[in-house]
């Protein structure tokens, strides 16, 4: 599938960004963002995301190639988790800073970097309030990380702020219609999200990316891609995610036995819908949106 690009000379069609009545009603609600952040911090601090994250390493490598990262560039990984993109950029001789607001995740990232003798600076930081000066980095990246921030617009604004004019922002975000997007939708049927909360999967749509980045972007290129979940069986995948993946672990912990059984059945049915193995194993393509934003250089911006 070919990439889709929006340039500063092009205008996104009104129907792509026009709010629907449902969206307007939702935006009128004021979710408690601080409470949401506290709950999410608890979720990502539970389990051991590194067990899941290491299987996603290919996404970080692919994103670095899509960004055409060059040796010596200063790269910031936002909501780095266990450091997939950080490691990929460091392997390309970049000056890498990895950040996350969950210290335990950075510990695992440090272990991975040390095992490969890679030089990476690690800093605890909130994606919505990055502790860096304006235009500090050549490239700012995040894979399946910044999309989970409660205040999406603030996080996007922070990424743009710390990226130099003419620099690049690279993202990998699960799509709403893909396997992980549908997983969160399934969990939401059993444990509804806070009123007014925006779905993380919106980061996996061209429309939402344009809303958050287009005003300061020279161009935005999006490419649907797939990461394939390969596990011994659907039951094996579920056991791994229930044990190590914070959002799934916390969802099951919040339900009573009957609720846990119902959620298990729904997730197994979801896997069956996506599974392409043809045998007892699990081979499930998980769609994500690869995003490359080139930040506008005001010195060369056309008159608007």
299 versus 176: the higher-pLDDT residue is 176
* CB-count burial class (<10 Å; 0-12, 13-18, 19+) for 207: middle
> What confidence score (pLDDT) does residue 144 get?
97
pLDDT tens readout for residues 197-246: 899 999 999 999 999 999 999 999 999 999 999 999 999 999 999 999 99
> What confidence score (pLDDT) does residue 2 get?
44
- Average pLDDT, integer, range 13-26: 40
pLDDT tens readout for residues 98-146: 999 999 999 999 999 999 999 999 999 999 999 999 999 999 999 999 9
| DSSP for 264-283, written as a single string | HHHHHHHHHHH---SSSSEE
pLDDT tens readout for residues 130-143: 999 999 999 999 99
Spatial contact of 304 and 257, defined as CB atoms under 8 Å apart: no
Task: Please say if the pLDDT value at position 260 is more than 80.
Answer: yes
* CB-count burial class (<10 Å; 0-12, 13-18, 19+) for 72: exposed
The whole-model pTM stands at 0.87
- Average pLDDT, integer, range 57-78: 98
Spatial contact of 82 and 112, defined as CB atoms under 8 Å apart: yes
pLDDT tens readout for residues 29-38: 678 888 888 8
- If pLDDT is split at 50, 70 and 90, which confidence band does 16 have? very low
Integer Cα distance of 189 and 134 in angstroms: 41
**Domains of the chain by residue range:** 32-175+195-228+286-299
> What confidence score (pLDDT) does residue 59 get?
98
- We find that the CATH architecture of domain 32-175+195-228+286-299 is 3-Layer(aba) Sandwich (3.40)
């Amino acid at each position: 599938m070919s990439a889709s690009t929006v340039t500063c000379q092009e205008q996104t069609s009104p129907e792509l960004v026009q709010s629907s009545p449902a969206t307007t009603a939702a935006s009128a609600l004021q979710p408690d963002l601080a409470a949401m952040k506290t709950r999410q911090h608890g979720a990502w601090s539970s389990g051991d995301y590194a067990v899941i994250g290491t299987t996603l390493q290919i996404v970080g490598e692919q994103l670095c190639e899509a960004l055409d990262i060059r040796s010596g560039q200063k790269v910031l990984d936002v909501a780095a988790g266990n450091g997939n993109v950080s490691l990929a950029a460091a392997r390309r001789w970049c000056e890498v800073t990895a950040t996350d607001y969950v210290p335990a995740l950075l510990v695992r990232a440090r272990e991975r970097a040390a095992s490969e003798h890679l030089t990476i600076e690690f800093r605890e930081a909130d994606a919505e309030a990055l502790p860096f000066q304006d235009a500090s980095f050549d490239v700012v990246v995040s894979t399946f990380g910044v999309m989970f921030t409660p205040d999406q617009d603030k996080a996007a604004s922070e990424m743009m702020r710390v990226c130099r004019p003419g620099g690049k922002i690279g993202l990998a975000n699960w799509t709403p219609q893909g396997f992980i997007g549908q997983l969160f939708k399934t969990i939401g049927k059993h444990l509804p999200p806070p009123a007014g909360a925006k779905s993380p999967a919106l980061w996996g749509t061209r429309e939402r990316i344009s809303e958050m980045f287009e005003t300061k972007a020279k161009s935005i290129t999006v490419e649907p891609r797939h990461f394939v979940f390969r596990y011994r069986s659907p039951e094996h995948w579920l056991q791994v995610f229930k044990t190590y993946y914070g959002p799934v672990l916390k969802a099951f912990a919040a339900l009573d036995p009957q609720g846990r059984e119902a959620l298990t059945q729904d997730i197994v049915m979801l896997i069956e819908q996506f599974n392409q193995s043809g045998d007892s194993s699990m081979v499930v393509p998980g769609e994500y949106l690869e995003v490359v934003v080139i930040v506008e250089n005001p010195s060369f911006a056309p008159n608007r």
